[in-house]
Amino acid sequence: MKGFKDFLMRGNLVELAVAFIIGGAFAKVVEAFTAIILDIVGKVGGINSFSAASIAGINIGAFLTALISFVIVSAVVYFGLVKPYEIYSAKVAAKAEAAPAVPTTEELLGDIRDLLAKKN
């Protein structure tokens, strides 16, 4: 039982569970946003129900709806999550490069040796 408890409390599993729950909630927000965009596209195109669009008797509306939804979700994820993360990562990396290098133990011991040698 202890091994199972350790497995459940492992950091990656907990983070994955939180990401899954947040992702489910975020999906509902993106779905509502997509519905708004598709309504606007339908009004501009003169179609009441975008899913019912057809060309030469072939119903392509469901495919177009899925395609537009995919593009919108991809854009929201890219501009809402990926791009801000890249900017944040670049700032953190710049701060890490700007920080002065901490000398290693060997370098400090070498400096002490040189100072003692110079003193004698």
Class for domain 2-119, per CATH?
A: mainly alpha
26-36 mean pLDDT: 80
The 10s digit of each residue's pLDDT in 33-49 is 877 877 787 777 777 66
109-114 mean pLDDT: 92
Amino acid 103 reads P
The pTM of the whole model exceeds 0.75: no
How many Cα atoms occupy the beta-carbon half-sphere of 106 within 13 Å?
0
Instruction: Report how far residue 120's alpha carbon sits from residue 115's, in angstroms, rounded to the nearest whole number.
Output: 9
Which sequence spans correspond to the domains of the chain?
2-119
